[in-house]
Amino acid sequence: MSSEKISSHDHYSEYDTWAWLYNETMGPQYRQNQLQPLEKMLLPQISPNAELLDVCCGTGHLVQNLIERGYQLTGIDGSEQMLNYARKNAPQGKFILADARTFELPPTFDAVFSTSASLNHIMSIAELKQVFQRVYTALQNNGIFFFDINHHEQMERWWNGEVVEGEIKSTYAWTLTPKYNSSERTGHFKVTMFQSKSQPKFSPIRSIWYFLSPLLNKLQNISLFYKIRLKLLRLFQSQEKNWQPIDVSYPVRGHQPEELKIALQEIGFVDINICTLEGSTTIDNKHSAYFICRK
């Protein structure tokens, strides 16, 4: 992603390449994962039929979940391909192709949210302030802004250039490898997508994966099983010869919670709270930071 100033016609479209896979994998998975912080921190504070804006809505899985609960939803995203899936996944949602840094919407929303650390894609505080300003403008007075980020210390600790997630299916596979440069406070995660056009040839690693994956998926919260899962994915990544890999890299910035708090204050947000999902106000390197504030 470019960190240069963008014109109002540009938008962040890097997810176009990943969209088909995201729609199969992360999208449905995040629908569940991201609901929990919303249920804990945002939804109890808004009315049952509130008007909500999802900034960086991706494939719209979360939008659909919230529509099913009675809310009115609009989603914006810079990737046309992600939005094509969003329109199918959430037919009653309203979707707008726009950049988070430049979108313009009137102040009609009761709350605006952004999940799955999407704002880590914004590569400077100056650009992040552009996003905050757009959100501020779109909120009604007293409206709530809620978002999460991966922060500097967390990325410094965990983004080591090793495969941390992935899957091997019958006709495709993928791995995700995050890496962070602490001194530059920037990093990227690489998504490697493997596709097999013909019937894939026999491979011992894939066979072991197919045999073990129901168990490994079920028990991945247990450290040993998680490690075996990753070991198999890393072996697949380094040794699979029959499937063609395509790498896409997504730059991200390691934001500091305190500097984001100052940026929010400068835009005019008040009642700014930063905490972990568990509700702790100590943001250590094991936890993402959740922000909730008010216009």
Ligand X SMILES: C[S@@+](CC[C@H](N)C(=O)[O-])C[C@H]1O[C@@H](n2cnc3c(N)ncnc32)[C@H](O)[C@@H]1O
Residue 169 beta carbon to ligand X: minimum distance, rounded to whole angstroms: 19
Return the number of the residue (251 or 257) whose C-beta is nearest ligand X: 251
Residue 83 beta carbon to ligand X: minimum distance, rounded to whole angstroms: 8
Residue 195 beta carbon to ligand X: minimum distance, rounded to whole angstroms: 21
Residue 34 beta carbon to ligand X: minimum distance, rounded to whole angstroms: 5
Bridge partners of 189, per DSSP, are 178, 250
Return the number of the residue (150 or 236) whose C-beta is nearest ligand X: 150
User: Which runs of consecutive H residues, i.e. helices, occur in 112-222?
Assistant: 125-138, 152-158, 204-218
| Phi (first) and psi of residue 28, to 5 degrees | -65, -35
Task: Please tell me the distance from the alpha carbon of residue 89 to that of residue 57, in angstroms, as a whole number.
Answer: 12
Dihedral of CA 121/123/128/130: which sign?
A: negative
Residue 203 beta carbon to ligand X: minimum distance, rounded to whole angstroms: 30
Return the number of the residue (33 or 170) whose C-beta is nearest ligand X: 33
Short-list 79, 71, 84, 78, CA closest to 35: 71
Footprint of ligand X (CB under 6 A): 11-12, 15, 26-27, 30, 34, 56-58, 62, 77-79, 82, 99-101, 115-116, 118, 121
Return the number of the residue (12 or 269) whose C-beta is nearest ligand X: 12
Return the number of the residue (191 or 264) whose C-beta is nearest ligand X: 191
Cα-Cα-Cα-Cα torsion 244, 168, 82, 76, nearest 10 degrees, comes to -130
